[in-house]
Amino acid sequence: MPSWRDLREDAERSLAKGGVDAAATEARWMVEHVSGYEAAELVAAEDELVGSRSAAYLAELVERRIAGEPLQYVLGCWTFLGIDLLVDQRVLIPRPETEVTARVAIDEAVRLGARRGRPDPWAGAHTTYTVADLGTGSGAIALTLASDLPDAEVWATESSDDALAVARANLAGTGLPATRVRVGTGSWFDGVPDHLRGHLRLVVSNPPYVAESEFDELPLEVRAYEPHDALVSGPTGLEALQAIVRDAPAWLDPVGTLVCEIAPHQSEAVSGMAVAAGFDQVLVQRDLAGRDRVLVARKLG
């Protein structure tokens, strides 16, 4: 019987031979996933002998990765700003750029006077203001907002039934913050109850922003595995952003803010949309690589 060490080393060799760049890291993550051990625990347990079922499962994961499937889908889960999420081919893979978007959104809420911190278990689902995550996908942004903004009611909207199933599963597994998340079915603001029109403190979205002509330029593992409709907006890549920016002022309260993830080359066009829509202050924040990534459009009352 092999040990976890033997399986990890075999997986690393197979992944490297299959062209996976970070073979050592990915092999370790796969073994952690299959074994159920945390990283530190696995170090102490590497000489433990492994049964045939676990070895076969690890081999299956390695084969899927070598075939080109993204690691996040192979593992079936990924961490987004400390929140463990179920992810599969029904939703986009949570990316560092979207973590930046979520952080910017939380900073904007704090700028507007929101309290940041852990939810109070004695407060139940009590809230004092409402925010919305449009096109929630896996629920990553919505759950981050609920986790970091303890007084916020969070509406997570989604038009894809498949993505909604993933989001609901993640809500079910998140605990206390999820009690303040409401799920709405519909495209963008169509999923938000009409009585909230003019009362949203913050609107956040990571919409599709790839143009149809750009799709073939995406990495193969993105094109082949991630949901097309969550990536491609239309002929220009601006269609979803235009709809959100156009409608947001009517849904935000008098000093509310819109935060949208964008492609770097779209910053000028989307900023112009926000000015035309009537926002008083428009700026673009950069991602970790220094590229324009997050539109921030503010109403100043």
Q: Which helix (H) or strand (E) holds 184?
A: strand 181-185
| DSSP category for residue 195 | G
Structural tokens at position 38: 């945390």
Q: Would you say 94 and 279 are in contact if contact means Cβ atoms under 8 Å apart?
A: no
179 CB contacts (<8 Å, ≥6 apart)? 124, 125
Strands 200-205 and 181-185: unpaired
Per-residue pLDDT of the chain (301 residues; tens, 9 = 90+): 899 999 999 999 999 999 999 999 999 999 999 999 988 898 889 999 999 999 999 999 999 999 999 999 999 999 999 999 999 999 999 999 999 999 999 999 999 999 998 767 666 667 899 999 999 999 999 999 999 999 999 999 999 999 999 999 999 987 788 889 999 999 999 999 999 999 999 999 999 999 999 999 999 999 999 999 999 999 999 999 999 999 999 999 999 999 999 999 999 999 999 999 999 999 999 999 999 999 999 999 8
Q: Label residues 13-48 b or e (16+ Cβ within 10 Å = b).
A: ebbeeeebeebeebbbbbbbbbbebeeeebeeebee
Distance separating alpha carbons of residues 286 and 226, to the nearest angstrom: 24
